[in-house]
Chains A and B, each alone.
Chain A
């Protein structure tokens, strides 16, 4: 079997050698949140495979799903998994391949920037407009020893549709039945209270400039801008500081019950060290590739990304995938094929 594949590979590469000298251009489009790491990966990958050239347009998850579904790009990218209906409408079977993890953090503007602890119900009720003051009994109970002021909480959320918002409201929907029923989840929602800021910088700017404000931003953004962030109580009952490690732990906690298609919400996962407001971001590829050369380049890149590529994730403040999940992804990559023949060379 192995020799047969090797022979085939030799045959194919041999026959394609003149053609392969020309570059294979692979187009992709989608999510903006992972754009920094994707562009770094695509750049680094030209040194691994000089013949494959990846071109990525960060037009937003919605656009990414639309374009891959109409096959105008070779791969898509999204921060929120596609719905069953969207998958049904696509002309072929689309696979979700997780690439890295992101997390949302609670940031706030209080004198002295104390380290605050939040329970899930406190966060949900602040965003539902039920907790309106900083010295609310539940907030003071969760933060003994911190003098919380008698000041209104000014809630700040994202105004633009975003994966960051999706993670946030997905979490709120999980921990609060009232949120689930009244508001629900999506890249934009009908917020019960609060001001909208455009982008992470808009929310952070608003929070920085408004005493008593509280909002959520992407972990990487909070870390690079040294914003005060809150600890959140996870499903195991521990207050967890949002870091790259605790974000990776969220995926590790969910790995045991990982569905085969990876369309899973990682918010509020099991695991002692898991930070509860985290999520994958995915690449979308067709299981049956329409073009052999492009398909081969894509699977090789996916393999490289899920192994060597993960090492550069933390530098850009993305959380790398836990090894358990990488094992599970390997199985999916091996399924990607061209006319029934797997595209990944034997390893």
Chain B
């Protein structure tokens, strides 16, 4: 496989050059070969890193895998003293907080991107785009501190009582308002994810050819119809890619979430209740985990986080692929 690919390049180079200068061709061939080798090594390193990571985590998680087996995935007690470990509250918390973040961040982020790419006056675009990128670079601990000192009191005194009064019949909005909890985590995550979605979506929308817009406008479409039918549909897979990038960040975010989620390993329906995420429990307990089984259980949580991230990404990609397939089928 490898040798034939190199050979293929060799013949291609040979064909494009006059046969009278074989030394130069050989020279060029060597450069190409080196370049190819270098890039292949770079690609293989990434692959090796992922595989190495997975192997290392599986080895590290072995004692816990052996001790708990499937029970790890279906029980929800996390008791380091008695060494009973179950991952359910952490998986639940990770998925719920990320879902909540996307529910808030997608309309906001994509909306901002549409505004920046389609509607905003020219002088607004560069400074806002710059600010968006700046917000993406703020360290997560800053968001966490803001969450504790600004967002949580705001939620506790205003938002949660109001939600409890109006939507309290839903189990989502019941229980005492602590401020910190799943809702706070979702909001902080959303704020952290919005700039990613905005920045990437904006690039995607800017890459939509103008002929698309012109064609729609020529057919008498309104601004809204043009955006919806010609621009958004064209850039759909790119926007979904932007959302996936945001989701990846939300699933793995540690510091900011740890500071506002309340860190309670419980599966609660209410968004007011404290929760816990996989990344948070690792960050919280890894340094002081003294027994081997405890440490191993934390590593298994890490392995699970990898699996969940891969699974969610694969699912989303499948979605993109099926949507893309449908579009293609319509076009044909």
Contacts and interface: CB of A to CB of B under 8 A. Distances in A.
| Chain A to chain B: the 6 pairs with minimum beta-carbon distance, closest first | A161-B288, A196-B263, A60-B287, A159-B263, A190-B79, A184-B81
A206 interface: yes
A66 B262 CA distance: 29
Contacts of B149: 205, 209
Interface of B: 77-82, 148-149, 152-153, 156, 176, 178-180, 258-259, 262-265, 274, 276, 280, 283-290, 295
Interface in A62-86: 62-63, 65-66, 80, 86
A61 B149 CA distance: 30
A65 B262 contact: no
A161 B285 contact: yes
A63 B180 contact: no
A183 interface: yes
A197 B178 CA distance: 13
Given A160-B288, A209-B149, A210-B156, 13 more contacts: A61-B290, A160-B283, A161-B80, A161-B286, A161-B289, A184-B81, A187-B80, A188-B284, A194-B264, A195-B274, A198-B284, A202-B259, A205-B149
Given A161-B285, A202-B259, A185 B148 contact: no
A146 interface: no
Interface in A168-223: 183-191, 194-198, 202, 205-206, 209-210
B148 A206 contact: yes
A142 interface: no
20 contacts: A60-B287, A61-B288, A62-B289, A63-B287, A159-B258, A163-B288, A185-B81, A186-B80, A186-B290, A187-B80, A188-B80, A188-B289, A189-B80, A190-B79, A190-B82, A195-B262, A196-B276, A197-B259, A198-B263, A209-B152
Contacts of A191: 264
Nearest to A65: B290
A154 B274 CA distance: 12
Contacts of A62: 287-290, 295
A61 B294 CA distance: 14
Contacts of B79: 189-190
A92 interface: no
A309 B152 CA distance: 43
Given A189-B80, A210-B156, A59 B264 contact: no
Contacts of B148: 202, 205-206, 209
A162 interface: yes
Contacts of B290: 61-62, 65-66, 80, 86, 186-187
Interface in A43-68: 59-63, 65-66
A195 B285 contact: no
Contact of A154 (B77, B178, B286, B287): B178
B284 A196 contact: yes
A253 B77 CA distance: 38
Contacts of A183: 81
Contact of A198 (B81, B156, B179, B258): B258
B287 A184 contact: no
Given A205-B149, A206-B180, A209-B149, A188 B285 contact: yes
Given A62-B288, A152-B176, A160-B284, A209 B153 contact: yes
Nearest to A63: B287
B274 A196 contact: yes
Contact of B262 (A32, A189, A196): A196
A92 to B, nearest CB: 19
